[in-house]
């Protein structure tokens, strides 16, 4: 087998370096610190076409000036660790600025492969690049990649393998008037065997002219008497150029990028400019909130109707079009999936016969798979809608529109995305807080977004609402959404008041506003998949395991024997003891243990509340099951509120922990939700009692 190839990954901040690193290493990195610093060093070993590649993620830097620890680490790495290949990243959306670092590194070493990132995003902005031409001009391979989609990754790895061990010449940038001085100094440095074997003399000359601290020190210590000669040439150059040499060199590099590298290799097709007056409505402090909230409301109503039929079904029902309402409900996405799984489980039971094993297969395993799969299309629709808003450039404008409102509650426009995503699923909602620039606001959002009802809770709430029926049933779901948002904003306001004024200042908006264009289905899909995959991997595994485990617990008696009577199970016995907890919510009577039992199971995943109550009551559908519980309307309302709020589901808990890396914070989140849910549940019960008796 061939030798291990050592690769360093270098790029400016925000060019997508960590995304690319994660994609290349598939998330299997070892994290340590760079010696003597607190700067993180991540590395991973991967295989590609029978070659072993060790990839080291270098810190994000803007140039090679030796001023910051990050720049010193990168320079030391290049000159002392002798990597086989340095992958330098350039951002295709801001190519001119990000090529600067590429040029600087190419002046130091020719062992470079350039990866141009975010190529799809650039495309949607109308930026088109001739990569072959740029590659020819730079003299090194240039590979366009889209890390999110995984495009170009294979090609990049192949280029690395091919390039390893090949010494390409360093890049020669033209410095005009300064050339004569550079040549003079270069010759002097070339005379020192010690220095010129380690660094290209021309690079040393440039750094010496720039006044680089390290090169200055090297020249003084190792060049002996020649040092004073070097200084004389530099003084002469300063007089001749008449401005700061470092600035002159930087400007020359920028000019070189524009004229020698990018000229005729970069085409920017101007996107159709929309009417100024139209998009200005999003900036205006009076129209913006109304317009933004209006758009969000319409989008989410459409999503809800497609997913569940609600609220269209409720409205039609109230207007007397009962049949039409039930047809819409039946052909909503959750209706269709429900039908498919019922048919499938009937088929299995019919063909295998009824036995504990078939029951396990159907209710435990299939039910578990179903409870994951059933939410994929629901969350997918939410994410696609948000992806359309994001890709079209509307979402940042909506964020500006709601910023002032959110600001009153101690949040900023950056909170819009996590809140919106949480309406689909809390797991990606919590993860999307990563994009929130202030860490204190991010932590606050991680704590608060789990209060927002996700699609799973929507389905549970709708079933309870149908069971309650009448006027109260129709209002239940809107009521719980309103209460949830009030909780989020009130708690946020309270936390905001309690924090230091310094932290409060961080709640600000700083957002790039991309041009508005027609959304691309592909880009919408990247956005969707980016968030949906978190649900599938994280929530998916947790929910699947938990639903299988809960089935087993529901069918194991106190004597650890199989039982098909759920009321004899371990959980049922525990629930009987604990059901007193729900009494203040108005839940009492013979079947109150079933409610407690559902609450315990719902702790694991809220969508299991329904199936738990159905199996425990032996009813044929959730609506009948709720009726069997014999809850009064006020206690059904308060139970619904409690179930919606009482805890982030287990998958969300796991996500909160992995995002904050703090058990304290994770437990705080659970306790906060329990307290809020319980006290509001009790309050709702009493208020509903009073209101309904008056009527």
Partner 1 sequence: METTTLDLTREGSVVTVLEIRGGGWVRRLYQMGILPGSQVKVVFNRGVGPIVVRIGDVEVSLGRGIARRIVVKVTQG
| Binding footprint of partner 1 on the chain (CB under 8 A) | 13-14, 97, 280, 283-285, 288, 396, 400, 403-404, 407, 412-413, 437-438, 505-513
Compare residues 251 and 687 and give the one whose CB is closer to partner 1.
251
For the bound state, the minimum distance from the C-beta of residue 383 to partner 1, rounded and expressed in Å, comes to 24
Give residue 661's region: left, alpha or beta (phi > 0; psi -120 to 50): left
Compare residues 214 and 508 and give the one whose CB is closer to partner 1.
508
Residue 123 Cα distances to 117, 394, 644, angstroms: 11, 18, 42
Compare residues 97 and 686 and give the one whose CB is closer to partner 1.
97
Compare residues 91 and 186 and give the one whose CB is closer to partner 1.
91
For the bound state, the minimum distance from the C-beta of residue 257 to partner 1, rounded and expressed in Å, comes to 15
For the bound state, the minimum distance from the C-beta of residue 364 to partner 1, rounded and expressed in Å, comes to 50
For the bound state, the minimum distance from the C-beta of residue 682 to partner 1, rounded and expressed in Å, comes to 39
Compare residues 26 and 273 and give the one whose CB is closer to partner 1.
273
Tokens of 479: 């009521």
For the bound state, the minimum distance from the C-beta of residue 503 to partner 1, rounded and expressed in Å, comes to 10
Compare residues 294 and 577 and give the one whose CB is closer to partner 1.
294
Q: Residue 373: enclosing H or E segment and its boundaries?
A: helix 367-373
For the bound state, the minimum distance from the C-beta of residue 40 to partner 1, rounded and expressed in Å, comes to 17
Q: What is the CA radius of gyration of the chain?
A: 31
Q: At what angle do helices 608-617 and 455-468 cross, to 10 degrees?
A: 40
Closest CA to 591 of 618, 620, 564, 611: 618
For the bound state, the minimum distance from the C-beta of residue 507 to partner 1, rounded and expressed in Å, comes to 8
CA dihedral 670, 675, 676, 682 (to 10 degrees): 140
Beta strands at 40-48 and 30-33: parallel, antiparallel or unpaired: antiparallel
Give the number of other CB atoms < 10 A from CB of residue 586.
23
**Three-class secondary structure of residue 238 per DSSP:** helix
Angstrom distance (rounded) from CA 316 to CA 51 = 64
For the bound state, the minimum distance from the C-beta of residue 73 to partner 1, rounded and expressed in Å, comes to 18
Compare residues 403 and 444 and give the one whose CB is closer to partner 1.
403
Compare residues 283 and 347 and give the one whose CB is closer to partner 1.
283
Contact of 598 with 612, CB cutoff 8 Å: yes
Contact of 99 with 155, CB cutoff 8 Å: no
Angstrom distance (rounded) from CA 430 to CA 670 = 14
E strands, 140-252, in order: 142-144
Give residue 152's region: left, alpha or beta (phi > 0; psi -120 to 50): left
Angstrom distance (rounded) from CA 510 to CA 312 = 38
Compare residues 168 and 279 and give the one whose CB is closer to partner 1.
279
Angstrom distance (rounded) from CA 64 to CA 643 = 56
Closest CA to 481 of 310, 685, 688: 310
Compare residues 397 and 457 and give the one whose CB is closer to partner 1.
397
Q: Tell how far CA 605 is from the center of its chain.
A: 22
Compare residues 211 and 285 and give the one whose CB is closer to partner 1.
285
For the bound state, the minimum distance from the C-beta of residue 71 to partner 1, rounded and expressed in Å, comes to 14
457 phi, psi to nearest 5 deg: -65, -35
Compare residues 279 and 493 and give the one whose CB is closer to partner 1.
279
Angstrom distance (rounded) from CA 129 to CA 262 = 9
Compare residues 13 and 294 and give the one whose CB is closer to partner 1.
13
CA dihedral 610, 613, 614, 616 (to 10 degrees): 150
Residue 7 is given by DSSP the state E
Compare residues 196 and 438 and give the one whose CB is closer to partner 1.
438
Compare residues 111 and 403 and give the one whose CB is closer to partner 1.
403
For the bound state, the minimum distance from the C-beta of residue 29 to partner 1, rounded and expressed in Å, comes to 24
**DSSP annotation string for 461-490:** HHHHHHHH-HHHHHHHHHHHHHHHHHHHHH
For the bound state, the minimum distance from the C-beta of residue 399 to partner 1, rounded and expressed in Å, comes to 8
For the bound state, the minimum distance from the C-beta of residue 446 to partner 1, rounded and expressed in Å, comes to 19
Closest CA to 200 of 222, 215, 216: 215
Bridge-partner residues for 194, per DSSP? none
For the bound state, the minimum distance from the C-beta of residue 580 to partner 1, rounded and expressed in Å, comes to 49
Compare residues 73 and 157 and give the one whose CB is closer to partner 1.
73
For the bound state, the minimum distance from the C-beta of residue 496 to partner 1, rounded and expressed in Å, comes to 13
**Three-class secondary structure of residue 543 per DSSP:** helix
Bridge-partner residues for 52, per DSSP? 47
**Three-class secondary structure of residue 79 per DSSP:** helix
Contact of 172 with 137, CB cutoff 8 Å: no
For the bound state, the minimum distance from the C-beta of residue 163 to partner 1, rounded and expressed in Å, comes to 29
Contact of 466 with 329, CB cutoff 8 Å: no
Compare residues 173 and 288 and give the one whose CB is closer to partner 1.
288
For the bound state, the minimum distance from the C-beta of residue 515 to partner 1, rounded and expressed in Å, comes to 8
For the chain, what is the largest distance between any 2 Cα atoms, rounded to a whole number of angstroms? 102
Cis amide bond preceding 311, omega within 30: yes
Tokens of 426: 């809390």
For the bound state, the minimum distance from the C-beta of residue 398 to partner 1, rounded and expressed in Å, comes to 12
For the four alpha carbons of 377, 378, 383 and 388, in that order, the dihedral sign comes to positive
């Amino acid at each position: 087998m061939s030798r291990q190839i050592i690769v360093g990954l270098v790029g400016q901040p925000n060019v997508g370096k960590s995304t690319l690193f994660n994609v290349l290493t598939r998330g299997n990195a070892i994290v340590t610190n760079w010696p003597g610093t607190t700067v993180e060093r991540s590395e991973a070993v991967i295989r590609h076409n029978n070659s072993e590649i060790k990839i080291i993620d270098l810190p994000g830097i803007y140039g090679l000036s030796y001023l910051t620890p990050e720049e010193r680490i990168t320079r030391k790495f290049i000159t002392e660790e002798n990597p086989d290949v340095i992958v330098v990243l350039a951002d295709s959306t801001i190519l001119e600025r990000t090529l600067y670092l590429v040029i600087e590194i190419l002046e130091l070493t020719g062992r470079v492969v350039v990866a141009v990132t975010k190529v799809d995003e650039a495309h949607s902005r109308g930026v088109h690049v001739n990569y072959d031409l740029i590659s020819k001009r730079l003299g090194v391979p240039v590979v366009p990649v889209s890390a999110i989609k995984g495009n170009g990754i294979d090609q990049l790895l192949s280029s690395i393998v091919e390039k390893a061990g090949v010494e390409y010449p360093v890049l020669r940038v033209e410095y005009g008037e300064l050339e004569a001085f550079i040549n003079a100094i270069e010759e002097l440095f070339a005379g020192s065997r010690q220095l010129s074997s380690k660094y290209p003399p021309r690079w040393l000359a440039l750094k010496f002219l720039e006044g680089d601290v390290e090169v200055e020190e090297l020249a003084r210590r190792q060049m002996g008497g020649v040092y004073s000669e070097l200084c004389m040439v530099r003084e002469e150059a300063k007089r001749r150029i008449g401005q700061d040499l470092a600035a002159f060199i930087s400007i020359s590099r920028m000019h070189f990028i524009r004229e020698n590298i990018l000229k005729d290799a970069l085409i920017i097709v101007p996107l159709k400019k929309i009417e100024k007056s139209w998009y200005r409505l999003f900036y205006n402090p009076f129209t913006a909130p109304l317009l933004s909230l209006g758009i969000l409301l319409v989008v989410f109503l459409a999503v809800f109707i497609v997913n569940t039929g609600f609220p269209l079904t409720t409205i039609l029902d109230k207007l007397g079009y009962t049949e039409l309402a039930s047809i819409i409900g039946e052909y909503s996405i959750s209706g269709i999936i429900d039908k498919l799984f019922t048919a499938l489980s009937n088929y299995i039971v019919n063909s295998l016969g009824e036995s504990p094993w078939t029951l396990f297969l159907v209710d435990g395993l299939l039910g578990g798979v179903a409870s994951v799969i059933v939410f994929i299309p629901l969350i997918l629709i939410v994410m696609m809608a948000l992806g359309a808003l994001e890709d079209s450039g509307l979402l940042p404008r909506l964020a500006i529109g709601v910023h002032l409102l959110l600001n009153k509650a101690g949040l900023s426009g950056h909170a819009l995305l996590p809140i919106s995503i949480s309406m689909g699923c809390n797991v990606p909602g919590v993860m999307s807080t990563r994009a929130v620039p202030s860490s204190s606001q991010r932590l606050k959002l991680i704590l608060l977004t789990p209060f927002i009802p996700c699609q799973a809770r929507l389905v549970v709430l709708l079933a309870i609402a149908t069971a309650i029926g009448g006027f109260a049933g129709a209002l239940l779901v809107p009521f719980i959404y309103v209460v949830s948002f009030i909780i989020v904003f009130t708690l946020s306001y309270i936390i905001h008041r309690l924090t230091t004024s310094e932290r409060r200042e961080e709640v600000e908006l700083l957002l790039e506003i991309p041009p508005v264009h027609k959304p691309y289905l592909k880009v919408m899909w990247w956005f969707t998949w980016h968030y949906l995959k978190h649900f599938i991997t994280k929530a998916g595994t947790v929910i699947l395991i938990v639903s299988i485990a809960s089935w087993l617990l529901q069918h194991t008696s106190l004597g650890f024997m199989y039982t098909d009577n759920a009321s004899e199970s371990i959980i049922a016995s525990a629930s009987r003891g604990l059901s007193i907890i729900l009494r203040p919510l108005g839940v009492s009577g013979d079947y109150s243990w079933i409610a407690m039992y559902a609450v315990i199971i719902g702790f694991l995943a809220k969508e299991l509340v329904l199936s738990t109550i159905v199996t425990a009551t032996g009813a044929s559908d959730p609506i009948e099951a709720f009726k069997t519980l014999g809850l009064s309307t006020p206690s059904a309302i308060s139970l619904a509120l409690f179930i919606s709020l009482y805890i982030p589901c287990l998958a969300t808990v796991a996500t909160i922990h992995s995002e904050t890396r703090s058990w304290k914070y994770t437990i705080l989140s659970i306790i906060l939700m329990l307290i809020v849910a319980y006290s509001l549940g009790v309050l709702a019960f009493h208020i509903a009692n009073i209101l309904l008796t008056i009527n």
